[in-house]
Amino acid sequence: MKRTLLIILTAILFTSCSSAVRFTSANTTKYEDNNTEVVTVMYGKASYYGSEFEGRNTSNGETFSNREYTAAHKSLPFGSLVKVTNLANNKSVIVRINDRGPYVAGRVIDLTRVAAEELDMIRAGIIDVKIELLK
């Protein structure tokens, strides 16, 4: 009985000290539109990141991945969720702000490639968008 209890306590001790599971950039998070309240609406031009940014740090310290649903905006708080709608085809995607930019005149948001693909903007490169800050 004491030996069994000792084995169980030892097992609990070792498992409680083990590392937590960590998620890597290979795990993408696609944000769903759950009829969230819109706080602010903006309009402007969107572009998307080139592959040369892959693996670099974003402004909030995350590792950039073109497979994540994230974006850069000059002033929205990190972690903000925004719904971006392509005004030419009405396709939309929800992304999380994790970087600053774009720093090109006339552009208001930079999207990851996976988000740009959802908006069907790869061929055009730059599109007119509606950006809705979600609560």
Give the mean pLDDT of 56-74: 95
Residue with tokens 């670099």: 56
20 falls within a domain = no
pLDDT value for 36: 79
- Structural domain for 128, as ranges: 32-134
In 3-state terms the chain splits into helix, strand, coil percentages (rounded to 5) of 20, 30, 50
pTM of the full predicted structure?
Answer: 0.77
Q: What are the tens digits of pLDDT across the range 91-121?
A: 999 999 999 999 999 999 999 999 999 999 9
Q: What are the tens digits of pLDDT across the range 4-49?
A: 555 554 555 444 443 333 333 444 677 777 767 999 999 999 999 9
* CA terminus-to-terminus distance, the chain: 56
Could you tell me which residues are beta bridge partners of residue 128? Answer: 45
26 falls within a domain = no
Number of structural domains the chain divides into:
1
Query: Looking at residue 125, which CATH number applies to its domain?
Result: 2.40.40.10
In whole angstroms, give the CA distance from residue 27 to residue 84.
21
